[in-house]
Amino acid sequence: MARNDRPLSPDLQIYRPQLTSVLSITHRLTGIALSIGSPLLVCWLIAAAAGPSAYATLHGFLASWLGLLLLLGWTFSLFFHLCNGIRHLFWDAGYGFDLQTIYASGWAVVAISIGLTLSAWIISFGMEG
């Protein structure tokens, strides 16, 4: 029987999600979200430069519930990608590979990125009011 006629054993469909793999895929997804979000930042700057009416239109969208939800997603993406990026820098330098450290730094990234996201939103709403 030819090798490739054999079935392939299951992988992603059955492998248990673990902190290691979940944070890795989240790092990728947040990276993708950030690259989609950066043109929006450019749009915001262009609208601000174009004048009050253009700015008001964009602001109207961003202040809607959908706009706020997207902004919340992007804020979390930014902080998560930043924190996990620092974790990767330590790994690149050869530090933090004990399983216990991998898990501790992983949970720290989750906690810190959620904390930073909430702080950023509380501060920005505080500045608005």
Partner 1 sequence: MIIKSSDQLPSVTLLKRFPVPRNFGVVPSSRIERGKTWPAPAGATRVKKFEIYRYDPDSGKNPCLDTFEIDLDICGPMVLDALIKIKNEIDSTLTFRRSCREGICGSCSMNIDGTNWLACTRFIRDTAQPTTIYPLNHLRVVKDLVPDLTHLYAQYALIEPWLKTTSPDPERERLQSPEDAEKVNGEDGKGPAACILCFSCTSGCPSHWWNGNRFLGPAVLLQAWRWLADSRDEATGERLDNLEDPFRLYRCHTILNCTRTCPKGLNPGKAIASIKKMIAERRS
In the complex, the residues that contact partner 1 under the rule CB under 8 A are 1, 3-21, 24, 88, 91-94, 97-100, 102-104, 107
Nearer to partner 1, 6 or 128 (CB): 6
3-class SS string, 28-76: HHHHHHHHHHHHHHHHHHHHHHHCHHHHHHHHHHHCCHHHHHHHHHHHH
Shortest Cβ 12–partner 1 spacing (Å):
6
Q: Which of 35, 34, 33, 26 is nearest to 88 (CA)?
A: 26
Nearer to partner 1, 15 or 65 (CB): 15
Nearer to partner 1, 94 or 129 (CB): 94
